[in-house]
């Protein structure tokens, strides 16, 4: 989640100057993962344990205080799921979601971010 203009920047693999990004792997050890969004839930059977995606948290600091600017979640979907099935599932989970309101403060220009792999 992030303001619409920030989402566009993050989806291009960029981030704002002064931001830091923390990358965390998403792993499963039960051959499935469950996504809960509000009162909606989906279970995805992966067919195996392991590493199934990444979560990225974009932050900036003002003085000593740290603020979350956006969160990006990238999941590897099981092979048995078609693109349409994944799209329908995500639309169901996030149907009421909308971008956060735009910030009034000006952001510094975007720079390219290279995630670790």
Is the per-residue pLDDT at 30 higher than 70? Answer: yes
3-state secondary structure of 10: helix
- How far, CA to CA in Å, does 34 sit from each of 28, 56, 81? 10, 18, 15
Which has more pLDDT, 85 or 102? 85
Phi, psi of 72 (to 5 degrees): -120, 130
Question: How far is 84 from 90, CA to CA, in rounded Å?
Answer: 10
The residues facing 72 across adjacent strands are 56
Given a cut of 80, is residue 84 above it in pLDDT? yes
Rounded Cα distance, 11 and 115, in Å: 12
Which pLDDT score, from 0 to 100, does residue 115 have? Answer: 58
pTM of the model: 0.68
Report the alpha-carbon distance of residue 3 to residue 104 in Å, rounded: 11
């Amino acid at each position: 989640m992030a303001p619409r203009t920030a989402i566009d920047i993050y989806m291009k693999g960029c981030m704002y100057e002064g931001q830091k990004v923390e990358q965390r792997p998403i792993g499963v050890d039960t051959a499935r993962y469950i996504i809960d969004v509000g009162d909606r839930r989906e279970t995805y059977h992966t067919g195996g344990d392991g590493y199934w995606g990444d979560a990225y948290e974009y932050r900036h600091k003002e003085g000593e205080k740290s603020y979350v600017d956006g969160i990006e979640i990238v999941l590897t979907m099981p092979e048995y799921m078609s693109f349409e099935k994944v799209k329908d599932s995500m639309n169901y989970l996030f149907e009421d979601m909308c971008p956060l309101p735009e910030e009034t403060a000006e952001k510094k220009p975007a720079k390219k971010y290279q995630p670790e792999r």
